Amino acid sequence: MNEIVIDAKGITKKFGDFTVVDDFDIQVPKGAIYGFLGPNGSGKTTTIRILCGLLTADSGGGTCLGHDIAKESELIKREVGYMTQKFSLYQDLTIRENLDFVARMFRVKNRRKRVQAALEDLGLADRSHQLAGELSGGWKQRLALATCLIHDPKLLLLDEPTAGVDPKARREFWDEIRRLAAEGVTILVSTHYMDEAVQCDSIAYIAYGKKLIDGPSNRIAQQVGLKTYRVTGANLRALELAFKDTGEDLQIARFGTGLHVSSTDHQMLKQTVKDIATDQGAKFELQPAGLEEAFIYLMTGSKDNFRKD
């Protein structure tokens, strides 16, 4: 069996009257890329902070890197790299100075040599004297990742790490993440991007404090039980209205030049799509349901725990 790096059960956290994390279980093996997918306010960040010892759960417990998440938080922090949503390094220090400062905090041996290696590993060497506050989003992201890795952590926690950066920077970032995972670093990442979610080995869908489902990323839609048809025609708006007017339990979403019509009632879905497509002169084909269809479906039945009815 693979070594389990994170093993927690029943994690619950409240702020006032609101349950932000509700009876959450998680198991992550060494070297895995585990994704958290969910809307803002769903409890992803709070969960990550509990797992690495920055917050204490109200109930439940478990281990991270073999240490108790409630009693041995200081030991966990020494072996974890945490990249927050917001760039949190010193804007008035250079790239090199930021890296050196973090290396000092972690008492990294051969500090100067390690800082130089980090600069070169992530392509920061030529910019090492540039102030952090002057960097673009993509370069700030590289610097933040470099500081997370300066002490060679066994676990990397990435909270919306690619928000606000361009597609090229995101692709390069994920190339680095896959390299680290191949070397045995375990990675827990929250994201809103479906093209990133599919790169995770496993995914947990979290909505308003509750884990709705988890499993291998390529099997989530199958676990949900969704079937999807892609429907294309000259007038997508008319097609969309026709599907909505049936009154059937259908999920309809526009993707590019077509509609994705999904349901867990496979027989009804097949007949409805066939009838409307024939009536509207449209084309249709069955295709594998994806993560985005599964996400929309799961979110439809979720209730916002901060909403007052």
DSSP for 32-45, please give it. -EEEEE--TTSSHH
Q: What is the pLDDT of residue 161?
A: 84
Q: Which CATH class is domain 4-221?
A: alpha beta
Position 252, amino acid: I
Tokens found for residue 306: 């901060």
**Global pTM?**
0.84
- Give per-residue pLDDT as tens, 270-296: 999 999 999 999 999 999 888 888 888
Q: First vs last Cα of the chain: how many Å apart?
A: 47
Q: How far apart are CA 52 and CA 30, in angstroms?
A: 15
Task: Report whether 11 contacts 47 (CB < 8 A).
Answer: yes
- Give per-residue pLDDT as tens, 256-275: 899 999 999 999 999 999 99
Q: What is the pLDDT of residue 178?
A: 92
Q: What is the pLDDT of residue 294?
A: 87
DSSP for 53-91, please give it. TSS--SEEEEEETTEETTT-HHHHHHTEEEE-SS--S-T
- Give per-residue pLDDT as tens, 58-105: 999 999 999 999 999 999 999 999 988 888 899 999 999 999 999 999
Q: How many CB atoms lie under 10 A from the CB of residue 43? A: 25
Q: Does residue 144 have a pLDDT over 50?
A: yes
Fold of the CATH domain 227-288: Alpha-Beta Plaits (3.30.70)
Q: How far apart are CA 192 and CA 219, in angstroms?
A: 18
Q: Does residue 307 have a pLDDT over 60?
A: no
Domain with CATH 3.30.70.600 in the chain: 227-288
- Please name which of 12, 37, 2 lies closest in space to residue 191, comparing C-alpha atoms: 37
Q: Taking the alpha carbons of 98, 101, 103, 105 in that order, is the dihedral positive or negative?
A: negative
Q: How far apart are CA 104 and CA 98, in angstroms?
A: 10
Domain with CATH 3.40.50.300 in the chain: 4-221
